[in-house]
Amino acid sequence: MSKAKVRALRSVDLAYADPDKALGFFTDVWNLSHVGENASVHFLRGTGAFHHIVTLRRAPQKAILRMVLDATDRSTIDKLHAQVVAHSLKSIDPPGTLRQPHGDYGFGFKDPEGRNIAIVCDVKDHADSADAPDRPRKLSHVNINAGDSDATLACYRDALGFTLTDTTRRLRFLSCNADHHSMVLGFAGGPTLNHIAFEMPDLESVMRGAGRMRDDGRGLEWGPGRHGPGNNVFCYFLGPEDLPVEYTAEMQQVDDTHRTGTPENWKWPPGRLDHWGISAHPSERMETAGLNYRFTADGYRLDEWR
């Protein structure tokens, strides 16, 4: 039997002491749209079809509740659950019926380092999905720090069906569809956040977004530049409560013929960090900000969605 695979990164669920302040940022500056509030959880969408790509809720301290992945149908969810069980993970929620807008069916679990992951199917998404200038389409990728990068890679590859598309000295790039990467995995920092990247329709929108952030008193923490792995353009910033966020565009598209890159492929000349060669190093403030974003203890349990 062939291995079941997730097919997309859908959303991230975030918690803040002041979610209304974060909501103002995500709507007025980051250019997502508020599509509703349910049991004090705010839902935010991009221009793509996904019902929401970020949720915000109140909690004593900032945290990531979970990363939400999309699967094709119920039978794929059941196969993915069996693969997760076979991977000998300790905390796994059983698959079951969900309430919209979370999906029709799904389950959650803790990965080997305690990150919360939900996998869902049949979310009632939006009929409209046209690009709009200066507005993010969807999540591009989540970049997560790691303590045991090998264990996490083995789980995402063997239990979730991700493909390793590239490696550098500091990062591993994982794909679950045509995008070169939807998850990125580091080698240090424990199970914390590195950054969350949002896909813009084009380079112009990335740059205009950088201007909007500057107007909001949030200057560039890294970029603009064009990454090696993925060939995507980037600008990095700090959002609410120093949430590390990236605007990106032009992600490389891959297929079965793609050959996994190695650190040897990504050696830059001295002083150069990207294809264009105009970006300085990331700010130290941004490099450490994500270490303060941790996954909650029980965010893998989907009781509130059932």
Interface residues with Fe ion (CB under 5 A) are 197, 246
Rounded Cα distance, 180 and 55, in Å:
25
Tokens of 102: 């979370």
If the CB atoms of residues 47 and 143 are measured against Fe ion, the closer one turns out to be 143
- Token pair 């002491």 in the structure block, residue: 17
Task: State how far Cα 124 lies from the chain centre.
Answer: 20
Asked whether the beta carbons of 295 and 63 are under 8 A apart, the reply is: yes
Asked whether the beta carbons of 6 and 176 are under 8 A apart, the reply is: yes
Residue number with the shortest CB distance to Fe ion? 197
If the CB atoms of residues 155 and 184 are measured against Fe ion, the closer one turns out to be 184
- Token pair 């941004």 in the structure block, residue: 286
If the CB atoms of residues 199 and 246 are measured against Fe ion, the closer one turns out to be 246
Rounded Cα distance, 114 and 82, in Å:
19
If the CB atoms of residues 93 and 246 are measured against Fe ion, the closer one turns out to be 246
Helix (H) or strand (E) holding 235: strand 233-238
Identity of the residue numbered 241: E
Q: ∠ CA(203), CA(36), CA(135), 5° rounding? A: 10
Rounded Cα distance, 234 and 93, in Å:
36
Q: How far is the CB of 2 from Fe ion (least distance, A)?
A: 30
Q: How far is the CB of 141 from Fe ion (least distance, A)?
A: 6
Q: Whose CA is closest to 62, among 189, 192, 183?
A: 192
If the CB atoms of residues 186 and 240 are measured against Fe ion, the closer one turns out to be 186
If the CB atoms of residues 120 and 185 are measured against Fe ion, the closer one turns out to be 185
